[in-house]
């Protein structure tokens, strides 16, 4: 199918502030989806709550803008129930690493074939500027007037340590690069994670906007990084917060079996013992009916 990025753009007008990084993210997603070429009705896009979680509505895919922190469980149930779908999952850093942080580890170890995009802006934008789990130590916000007392979560190291088989980072400051890692993530047969440094123009730090991204971002490929080396990937991930690395940090060379594939195998194997549902109560028969010899 010959798909164009515009085929994935809905008529809904984004609520984001002018200059928000998320505009770039949604553009990159249109491009990645066009490159992958699945028609919109075969795509399901699940999100949580937050500025970034509005994103499914701006695509023509089936969207599910759910509740705060629960996008991953919903996306997994959907993928298991309907494994033919291309399932995307997205949210902010609060959704993924604070209120829904507990689900990430399990989504990784379960390894369904879906893509999780986190728009990481180090702040709570929708609620107007509170600390987020990726805010820097010492950051002053409306909930930390005197400076944050907590060290930030490192999303890259977090997912790598739980064994995510595909981990990448991008920024809308590099549209081509971002579209390309999202496309690669979608094509990867397993749980793929993309952390997008997507600055908040309203509540984010003035010295960490797209202009600065452009100046400091370094593609890991240009550093000669071997994306099949998980230890090297972790070393790069350590620099989260001080360096802005872009590109694929880790791609497990031998993708582990996905949960959805294992489910299909088990269904196929068990369906040899298929029992029509009308007969299910025979399992409880106190005395088996005499069967003809």
Partner 1 sequence: MSHDLVIGMAGSGGDGIVSAGESLIAAAAGAGYAAIMTKSFGSQIRGGESSCRVRISTKPVLNPGGTLDVAVALNWDDFLKFGAELPVGGNTVVIYDAKTGVAPDKLPLGAVVPEEVYPVPIDALARQTAGTDKAKNTVILGLLAGWFGLAADDLLAGMRKKFAKKGPELVAANEKAFEAGRNYAAEHPLREPRFMEPAPPGEPKLLTDGNDMCAAAAIFAGCRFFGGYPITPSTEIMQFFTREVWRHGGAVLQAEDEIAGIGAALGASFGGVKAMTATSGPGMSLKSEIMGLATICELPLVIVNVQRGGPSTGLPTKSEQADLFQAALSAHGDVLRPVLAPVSVRDTFGVTVEAFNIAEQYQTPVIILSDQEIAQRKESCDPIDTRAFKLVDRLQPSAADLEKYVRFRFTESGISPVSAPGMPGGNYLGSGIEHNEHGDPTASGGMHAKMNEKRFRKLDPLKHRRDLFETYGDPRAPLALIAWGSVAGVCIEALERARQEGLRARLLVPKLLWPIAEEVYRDFFAGVQSGLVVEQSHQGQLYRLLRMQLDVPKGLQSFARSGANPFQPAEVVARLRETALAVQRQGAETLTPVE
- Minimum Å gap between C-beta 45 and partner 1 is 9
Sequence-distant (≥ 6) Cβ neighbours of residue 239 within 8 angstroms: 245
Is residue 14 a contact residue for partner 1 (CB under 8 A)? no
Q: Does 84 bind partner 1 (CB under 8 A)?
A: yes
- Name which of 56 and 247 has its Cβ closer to partner 1: 56
Rg (CA), the chain: 21
- Pick from 20, 51, 78, 230: which binds partner 1 (CB under 8 A)? 78
**Cβ nearer to partner 1, comparing 115 with 171:** 115
Q: How far apart are CA 55 and CA 48, in angstroms?
A: 10
In terms of Cβ atoms closer than 10 Å to its own Cβ (0-12, 13-18, 19+), residue 111 is: buried
Alpha-carbon distance of 232 to 229, in angstroms, equals 5
CA-to-CA distance for 115 and 254, rounded, in angstroms? 17
Task: Say whether residue 6 binds partner 1 (CB under 8 A).
Answer: no
Work out which of 4, 19, 37, 106 binds partner 1, going by CB under 8 A: 106
Tokens matching residue 220 = 């890991």
CB of 97 to partner 1, least distance (A): 15
Q: How many CA atoms lie within 13 A of 293 on its CB side?
A: 0
**Is the CB of 47 or the CB of 122 nearer to partner 1?**
47
Select from 4, 19, 37, 67 the one that contacts partner 1 (CB under 8 A): 67
Among 21, 25, 50, 76, binds partner 1 (CB under 8 A): 76
Which of 182, 211, 208 is closest to 196 using CA atoms?
A: 182
Closest distance of CB 193 from partner 1, Å: 17
Nearer to partner 1, 145 or 269 (CB): 269
> Closest approach of Cβ 244 to partner 1, in Å?
32
Rounded to an integer, what distance in angstroms lies between the CA atom of residue 160 and that of residue 171?
19
Q: In the range 45-64, which residues lie near partner 1 by CB under 8 A?
A: 46, 49, 54, 56-57, 60-64
| Reduced 3-state DSSP string for 231-271 | HHHHHHHCCECCECEEEEEEECCCCCCCHHHHHHHHHHHHH
Residues 258-287 contacting partner 1, CB under 8 A = 263, 266-267, 269-275, 277-278, 280-281, 283-287
CB of residue 271 to partner 1, shortest distance in Å: 6
Q: Does 242 interact with partner 1 (rule: CB under 8 A)?
A: no
Tokens of 223: 């550093």
Residues 108-127 within binding reach of partner 1 (CB under 8 A): none
282 exposure class (CB count in 10 Å sphere: 0-12, 13-18, 19+): exposed
Contact positions toward partner 1, by CB under 8 A? 12, 39-44, 46, 49, 54, 56-57, 60-67, 70, 72-82, 84-85, 102-103, 105-106, 263, 266-267, 269-275, 277-278, 280-281, 283-287, 289
């Amino acid at each position: 199918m010959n798909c164009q990025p515009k085929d994935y753009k809905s008529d809904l007008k984004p609520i984001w502030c002018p200059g928000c990084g998320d505009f770039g993210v949604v553009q990159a997603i249109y491009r990645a989806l066009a490159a992958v070429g699945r028609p919109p009705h075969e795509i399901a896009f699940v999100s949580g709550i937050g500025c970034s979680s509005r994103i499914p509505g701006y695509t023509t895919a089936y969207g599910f803008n759910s509740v705060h922190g629960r996008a991953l469980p919903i996306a997994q149930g959907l993928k298991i129930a309907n494994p033919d779908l291309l399932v995307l999952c997205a949210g902010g850093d609060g959704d993924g690493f604070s209120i829904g942080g507990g689900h990430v580890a399990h989504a990784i170890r379960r390894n369904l074939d879906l893509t999780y995009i986190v728009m990481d802006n180090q702040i709570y934008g929708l609620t107007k500027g509170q600390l987020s789990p990726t805010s820097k130590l010492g950051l002053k916000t409306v909930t930390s007037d005197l400076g944050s007392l907590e060290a930030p979560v490192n999303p890259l190291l977090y997912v790598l340590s739980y064994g995510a088989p595909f981990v990448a980072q991008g920024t809308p400051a590099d549209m081509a690069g971002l579209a390309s890692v999202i496309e690669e993530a979608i094509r990867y047969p397993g749980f793929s994670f993309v952390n997008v440094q997507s600055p908040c123009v309203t509540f984010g730090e003035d010295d960490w906007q797209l202009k600065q991204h452009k100046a400091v971002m370094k593609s890991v490929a240009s550093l000669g990084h071997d994306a099949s080396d998980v230890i090297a990937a972790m070393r790069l991930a350590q620099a989260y917060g001080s360096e802005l690395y872009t590109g694929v940090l880790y791609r497990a060379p031998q993708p582990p079996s996905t949960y959805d594939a294992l489910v299909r195998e088990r269904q196929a194997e068990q369906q040899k013992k298929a029992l029509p549902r009308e007969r299910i109560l025979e399992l409880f028969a106190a005395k088996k009916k005499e069967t003809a010899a």
